[in-house]
Amino acid sequence: MSAHTQPVPFTKPEPPIAPEKEVVESPFRDFLRAFLKHRSAVIGSVIVLSFLLIALFAPLITSYEYTARSQALLQAPSVDHWFGTDEMGRDLFTRVIYGTRISLWVGLFAISGSIVVGSFLGLIAGFYGGWRDTIISRFFDILLAFPSILLAIAIVAMLGRSLSNALLAIAIINIPTFGRLMRSRVLSVKSEDYILAARAMGMKNHRILFHHILPNCWTPIMVQGTLGFATAVIEAAALGFLGLGAQPPEPEWGTMLADARQYIQLAPWTMIFPGVAVALTVLGFNLLGDGLRDIFDPRMKQ
Amino acid sequence: MISYIIRRLIMLIPVLIGMSIITFSVVHAIPGDPARTIVGDKATPAQIQEIRENLGLDKPAYIQYFTYVKDILRGDLGTSLITKQEIAKEIKPFLAATTELAVVAMLIAVFFGVNLGILSAWKQNSWFDYTAMLIALIGVSMPIFWLGLMEQWFFAQELDLLPSNGRLDPRMEFDAITNFYSIDAIIQGNWYAFQDAILHLILPAVALGTIPMAIIARMTRSSMLEVMRSDYIRTARAKGLGEFWVVYKHTLKNAFIPVLTVVGLQLGLLLGGAVLTETIFSWPGVGRYIFDAINARNYPVIQSGILILATIFVVINLIVDLLYAWVDPRIQYGKGD
């Protein structure tokens, strides 16, 4: 603003602008400040980041192979084996560490898939309305008619048991969450004045959709995506536990818990550590998601 | 209200059709040769052929679907490939076991969840509030199958306090009438069996009830906080009503509507959680029935088990919606969702 009132031609533009930069609040800096003040968001992001680093640097953290067997069967935690060993003498610490990769991978791909498909459908349903809305909304209703884990079981039972089918199933069951959110968000954004203005300017539908509506709908999707990540990790572990997800010898947390069940008396550590890993990951994403929601949408604050 | 109910029922039709298509697919749309997948790799051609004819897999897809729907409408849920029994008959005791477990889990969840939420809201920002909300947060983050395993390990193995498997001591002689063991025991006046049935219920019900409890606690708290700020609560306080009455009578009554919805939705979700909980605690319910069927490639049972649980889920959701509209007259029946 001030630039217009000052006579510019004879002075260099840098000096008056540079100090102003300090004063101007960029939305990102605003966000960062609110974020750092929010305790659960910070704790959540620390947990999530730690798991991310563990997943990335798994081979550097442990010196064992996750499939390497040894003579030391079902040994209690010790200096050599921090989390003990399982029924095949494999180092449990190594398996839990590598399990992080699988869980984050499934969470990331499954939730990205649900977000892309769900948002796309929600966008169309909300923007165009009419028969498209009816069909898409009924499709969401149908998916929501099943308790989610049951639908996942049905899908995996049909396609065959494997980690990739479990991932696909998790992606499918989470579609309506994002779809409905996007739809309701589009419905409210659609009636804003700037959309009317864009229309008045003669803008085409797809341009309005992707340049004006979509950018204004991202925030809740991002928040829900973080929370959805938590759900996806639990669902992947649940499917693994039921024998429908990752197959042995994959070091998947749920599969490890299923194996550990038989040794509950002999070696409780085989089920304690993978479970703690699942719970911590989920807790991290839940804290982060709750925090993001509070920051972006103060009305939802508990 | 009546037109709302009718509209709600009409909306159910496409959902039920969609559901039937999905459960139909569990058997009939297996990629490749369904019959071969169902029988397994070691099957003889004769066995494959038998399955194919049994399930009508040799007919065109649309005929298979219409036969499937017709059978369901007649109450025929197919035949178990393992026991050769009719699923509709076989599933009944399993269904009772699941219902008993789910109801007890829900009672635990509502009792503890609502009270934790109320106390947290009442003592907002106190150490009690923080502890309760931390517990609730951990509760939502806990995989229930892991919680179940930990319970088994700690309370059954280490402390030897509670039974960790099944519904009753297997040595006990017991005639099931309704298949709700706790009720059966009361009918028969068998107090020892009643006690045993209740003891067997505790661990699985707590495992199954933990997530709903946590969600209900969070919901109750935020809903209570909202109501407590309203004018009539201030009036009640100004009148000099005791704090207990303000909280439990005036506030709770009005804060309960959103809580009710959550309770309903969670009751439905318990049915999904039942698959995991029942598997861990060897609880002979529908969830366990489905799990065993998965391992035995007993596809018709998987199909019908899922169909039944999903139908119950849909019906519960419908009841919740109608209750919601009935309890809160502010909901407009005339307009769309």
Whether residue B295 is contained in a domain is answered as yes
Contact B117, B220 (CB under 8 A): yes
Give this complex's ipTM.
Answer: 0.86
**In chain A, what residues touch B153 (CB-CB under 8 Å)?**
264, 268, 271
User: Is residue A301 over pLDDT 50?
Assistant: no
**Taking CA atoms, what residue in A is nearest to B287?**
A150
d(CA A26, CA A32): 10
Whether residue B11 is contained in a domain is answered as no
Whether residue B200 is contained in a domain is answered as yes
User: Is residue A11 over pLDDT 70?
Assistant: no
Whether residue B276 is contained in a domain is answered as yes
The label of the residue with tokens 């996750």 reads: A66
The distance of B200 to chain A (nearest Cα, Å) reads 19
User: Mean pLDDT, to the nearest integer, of B33-40?
Assistant: 81
Q: How confident is the model at residue A3 (pLDDT cuts 50, 70, 90)?
A: very low
**Taking CA atoms, what residue in B is nearest to A243?**
B295
User: Is residue A12 over pLDDT 60?
Assistant: no
**Taking CA atoms, what residue in B is nearest to A154?**
B26
For residue A18, CA distances in Å to A8, A10, A12, A22, A284 come to 15, 17, 11, 7, 39
Of A20-24, A75-79, B251-255, B322-326, the one with minimum mean pLDDT is: A20-24
Q: How confident is the model at residue A6 (pLDDT cuts 50, 70, 90)?
A: low
Whether residue B72 is contained in a domain is answered as no
Whether residue B136 is contained in a domain is answered as yes
pLDDT, residue A1, reads 43
pLDDT, residue A302, reads 40
pLDDT over 90 for what percent of chain A?
Answer: 44
Q: How confident is the model at residue B335 (pLDDT cuts 50, 70, 90)?
A: very low
| A–B CB contacts, 8 A cutoff, strictly below | 141
Element (H, E) at B200: helix B191-228
CB contact under 8 A, B143 and A234: yes
d(CA B123, CA B221): 10
Q: Determine contact: B82 vs chain A, CB below 8 A.
A: no
A66, exposed or middle or buried, with CB in 10 Å at 0-12, 13-18, 19+? Answer: buried
Q: Determine contact: B260 vs chain A, CB below 8 A.
A: no
Q: How confident is the model at residue B337 (pLDDT cuts 50, 70, 90)?
A: very low
Q: Determine contact: B152 vs chain A, CB below 8 A.
A: yes
Whether residue B206 is contained in a domain is answered as yes
CB contact under 8 A, A141 and B25: no
pLDDT, residue A15, reads 54
User: Is residue A23 over pLDDT 60?
Assistant: no
User: Is residue A177 over pLDDT 50?
Assistant: yes
pLDDT per position as a tens digit, B272-303: 888 899 999 989 999 999 988 888 888 889 99
pLDDT, residue A98, reads 92
Return the CATH number at B169: 1.10.3720.10
d(CA A180, CA A137): 8
pLDDT over 70 for what percent of chain A?
Answer: 90
Q: How confident is the model at residue A167 (pLDDT cuts 50, 70, 90)?
A: very high
pLDDT, residue A181, reads 92
Of A55-64, A203-212, B262-271, the one with minimum mean pLDDT is: B262-271
**Least CB-CB distance to A241: which of B16, B30, B145?**
B145
**Least CB-CB distance to B271: which of A147, A159, A241?**
A147
Q: Determine contact: A125 vs chain B, CB below 8 A.
A: no
The better pLDDT of the pair B86, A14 is held by: B86
The distance of A276 to chain B (nearest Cα, Å) reads 9
* Encoded tokens for A288: 């982060």
User: Is residue A43 over pLDDT 90?
Assistant: yes
pLDDT over 90 for what percent of chain B?
Answer: 19
For residue A182, CA distances in Å to A57, A186, A188, A222 come to 36, 6, 10, 11
The distance of A300 to chain B (nearest Cα, Å) reads 9
The better pLDDT of the pair B317, B325 is held by: B317
pLDDT, residue A90, reads 86
d(CA B270, CA B104): 11
C-alpha distance across the termini of chain A, in Å: 38
For residue A293, CA distances in Å to A124, A215, A222, A296 come to 25, 17, 9, 5
d(CA B110, CA B99): 16
Q: Please, how many CA atoms are within 13 Å of residue A256, restricted to the half-sphere of its CB?
A: 35
**Least CB-CB distance to B157: which of A260, A265, A283?**
A265
Q: Determine contact: A266 vs chain B, CB below 8 A.
A: no
CB contact under 8 A, B272 and A158: no
Give one DSSP letter per residue of B74-116, joined into a string: TT---B-TTT--BHHHHHHHHHHHHHHHHHHHHHHHHHHHHHH
CB contact under 8 A, A159 and B310: no
d(CA B321, CA A154): 26
Whether residue B300 is contained in a domain is answered as yes
Domain span including residue B160: 90-332
The distance of B245 to chain A (nearest Cα, Å) reads 24
Q: How confident is the model at residue A252 (pLDDT cuts 50, 70, 90)?
A: very high
pLDDT per position as a tens digit, B151-204: 888 888 888 888 888 887 777 777 777 778 888 878 887 888 888 888 889 999
Name the B residues in 93-132 with CB < 8 Å from any A CB: none
Q: How confident is the model at residue A22 (pLDDT cuts 50, 70, 90)?
A: low
pLDDT per position as a tens digit, B210-220: 989 999 998 88
pLDDT per position as a tens digit, A62-121: 878 887 777 777 788 888 878 888 888 788 888 999 999 999 999 999 999 999 999 999
Contact A176, A140 (CB under 8 A): yes
Structurally, chain B folds into a number of domains equal to 1
The distance of A287 to chain B (nearest Cα, Å) reads 8
Angle in degrees, 0-180, between the axes of helices A163-173 and A175-190, rounded to the nearest 10: 30
Q: What one-character DSSP code corresponds to residue A87?
A: T
pLDDT, residue A4, reads 52
Q: Determine contact: B14 vs chain A, CB below 8 A.
A: yes
